[in-house]
Amino acid sequence: MREELITSGRMNPNIDPHLEIWHWHIPLYLFLGGLAAGILFFAALYVILGMESKYAGAVRRAPIIVPFLLVIGLAALFLDLRHKLYFWQLYTTIKLQSPMSWGAWTLMGITPISVIWVAIHIQEYFPKWEWKNVILKDLNAFFLKNKLALAWVTIVLSVILGIYTGILFSAFNARPLWNTSILGPLFLASGLSAGAATIILFARSKEERLLFARIDILLIVIELFLIIHMFMGFKASTQVQIDAVNMFLGGQYTAPFWIFVVVLGMLVPALLEFLELRHKKIPVVLPVALVLFGSLMLRFIIAYAGQMSRWLY
């Protein structure tokens, strides 16, 4: 049998025998960033649509966790850096071709905005809250007055945040599994789905809960479509991309991907949400937890599998 045997003398840590430069920090951050983007997207959307009081759970209640999600995510990103004290170099330049530069600047914008969003809705949680400081009081009044403009900025930044988490991977043509532009929309859809699911937890009315269950089912269907679309694209592509997708179609990531991401993270929660729409009694936390788990696993599996996929030469 004709065989090709490649032996390399290189044994650099975290590079050989296969790339392992990114560990848990990056997929955790991508999950938290996507979830934050999802929550802020719907919060801003229902302000823009003028349905704030109808969907108060989405607009006023759920965003309270966003600053925490972003701060934990940023901390994970910081821990991942190996030259930590130089992190500020990110903010000395804007590199349009670097997704990480886009991400750094987007986070710089959306993190304070998420805090502002929580601050102007703080009375939802503390009805007697009053801003004592004059400056804070004026700022609060200013943002409340310009809430629609704030919502537009938020929705744009949240879409960039949600989509860049996928583009971060797809920009690397060195890793065939990541090198597909479908990852951008897929991660955006997954983040929006996680956001919609979280809003269900914060919803006040049954109507709002059912609306977000419907939205979530739609997003899960979109995700499934994108996953199939991505795999078909790989199958019809070059040998390295065929090898990459085969990790999920019989290879080592087959079981974790299909069981954790597709069945437990998408099909089961979609079914539970569907039953809820049919007025069956479903503990609301169950589909929500499964969607969040699936969203997290999707990022972990894509991050780790992508580092195993490579060009052979």
* DSSP string for 200-241: HHH--SHHHHHHHHHHHHHHHHHHHHHHHHHHHHHHTS-HHH
Going by the DSSP 8-state scheme, the letter that residue 124 receives in this structure is: G
Q: Rule CB under 8 A: is residue 75 a binding residue for other proteins? A: no
State the binding string over 123-152 for other proteins (x if CB under 8 A, else -): ------------------------------
Please identify which residue in 54, 64, 80, 258 interacts with other proteins, judged by CB under 8 A: 80
CB of 28 to other proteins, least distance (A): 15
Among 24, 49, 68, 93, binds other proteins (CB under 8 A): 93
Separation in Å, CA 157 to CA 25, 184, 296: 22, 15, 21
The stretch near other proteins (CB under 8 A) out of 18-26, 209-217, 222-230, 252-260 is: 18-26
Cα gap 124→59, rounded to integer Å: 10
Contact 301, 190 (CB under 8 A): no
Query: Using CB under 8 A, which of 24, 49, 68, 81 touches other proteins?
Result: 81
The three-class DSSP label of residue 294 is helix
DSSP string covering 146-172: THHHHHHHHHHHHHHHHHHHHHHHHT-
Number of residues forming the site for other proteins (CB under 8 A): 48
Among 51, 64, 75, 100, binds other proteins (CB under 8 A): 100
Confirm or reject binding of residue 2 to other proteins (CB under 8 A). Answer: yes
Structural tokens at position 295: 């969203």
Give contact residues for other proteins (rule: CB under 8 A): 1-16, 19, 21-22, 80-84, 86-87, 89-90, 92-93, 95, 97-101, 103-104, 171-175, 238, 307, 310-311, 313
